[in-house]
Amino acid sequence: MPLTQGEVIGVFDADAQVSQDLLRRVLPLFINSQMGAVQVRKQIANASTNFWTQGQAAEMRLDLYLQQQRIALGGLGELRGNGQFVRRQALESCGGWNEATITDDLDLTFRLHLNHWDIGVLPVPAVEEEGVTKAIALWHQRNRWAEGGYQRYLDYWPLILRNRLGYRKTFDLIVFWLAQYVLPTAAVPDLVMATTRNQFPLLMPMTSVTMLLSLVGMWKGLDQARREQEQTISTWAMLLQTLQGTLYACHWFFVVSFVTARISLRPKRLKWVKTLRQDDYPPKFNVTDIRM
C-alpha cells in the first residue's frame, strides 16, 4: 500500500489473465461515490480439463448470478480476491487489509459494508484464472474458504446483530449464512443418521429447496454466458452442464461439515495452505524422453 498512489487499488492473483479494456470497463463504476469496491467476474481458463475444472466454471457462473440478484434486492455484493478493485478511501476507512484472517477478501467485504460502502460486480470482461485440477487441491482450497467465511461471522456478529448493515443487508446476510453454512453443517449428520435408521432425512425438504435454487441459478448463469458469447448450445447440453455443476457443488456440504467440527474443537488459526496449480506438480516423463 505505501508504494501505491492511485485512488483505486486493483488486486490480482499471479495466474490472472485480463483483457486490455478492463480498466475502461471497471473504473466508470466508481463514479458512484458510495461504491467502495468492484468485483470482476471470475472465469476458469482451463475449464475443459476435467470434471473439477468444469464444475468450477459452472460454479463461477452461479456465483455471478447470485451476486447480481443479491445486489439488485439491496443485499451484499462480495469480493472474491482475484480481480477485485477497492477505492483507496474506502480501504483506509476500514483500516486496510486484515492480516488476522486467512480470507482477506471475505473479511474486507464485511468491513466495507459495515462502514456503509457498496460493492458492485462487473460481468464483462472476466478475469481468467487457473482452476485446480485435483480433488485434494480443491479440498484444501475450499477448507480455507469455509474457515475464512466462518471467521468473519464470528468476528463481526455483534455489529451484524445491531443492524449496522441496515435491514436489507442484514436479512440477506442471515439467509446466506443459513443456506451456505448452517444447512450444510446439519445436512450431513442428518443424512448419516437417516441412513443408519433407514429413514428419510429430516432436513430433506430444506435441502431439496436449496439444491433446486442452486440448480436454477446455475442454469440462469450458464444461459447468461451462452447469450454473452453468442454460443449455439443445445438445451440438452445446457441441462447436462447444469446437472454436472450441481453435482460438483455438493462437495461444499462435506467441506462445511468438516470445517465446522474442526473450528468447534480448535482455537482460531491462521494456517494458509497454498492451492496447487498445474505448474506446481512435478513433470511426468519416461526415461526414454531424456536425450543426451
| Helix/strand/coil (H/E/C) assignment for every residue in 55-93 | HHHHHHHHHHHHHHHHHHCCCCCCCCCCCEEEEHHHHHH
Which pLDDT tens digit goes with each residue over 129-170? 999 999 999 999 999 999 888 888 888 888 888 888 889 999
Residues 74-99 have a mean pLDDT of: 92
Which pLDDT tens digit goes with each residue over 13-59? 988 999 999 999 999 999 999 999 999 999 999 988 899 999 999 99
Spatial contact of 85 and 10, defined as CB atoms under 8 Å apart = yes
pLDDT of 205 higher than 70 = yes
User: Which pTM does this prediction carry?
Assistant: 0.84
> Residue 282 — very low, low, confident or very high, per pLDDT cuts 50/70/90?
low
pLDDT of 241 higher than 90 = no
Nearest-angstrom CA–CA distance, 204 and 188:
11
Which pLDDT tens digit goes with each residue over 58-72? 999 999 999 999 999
Structure confidence at residue 272 (pLDDT):
56
> Residue 286 — very low, low, confident or very high, per pLDDT cuts 50/70/90?
very low
Residues 230-252 have a mean pLDDT of: 83
Rg (CA), the chain: 20
Residue 40, judged by CB atoms within 10 A of its CB (0-12, 13-18, 19+), counts as buried
Structure confidence at residue 292 (pLDDT):
32
* Domain layout of the chain by residue ranges: 8-269
Structure confidence at residue 287 (pLDDT):
37
3-state secondary structure of 54: helix
Alpha-carbon 18 to chain mean position: 19
Nearest-angstrom CA–CA distance, 34 and 95:
17
CATH topology of domain 8-269: Spore Coat Polysaccharide Biosynthesis Protein SpsA; Chain A (3.90.550)
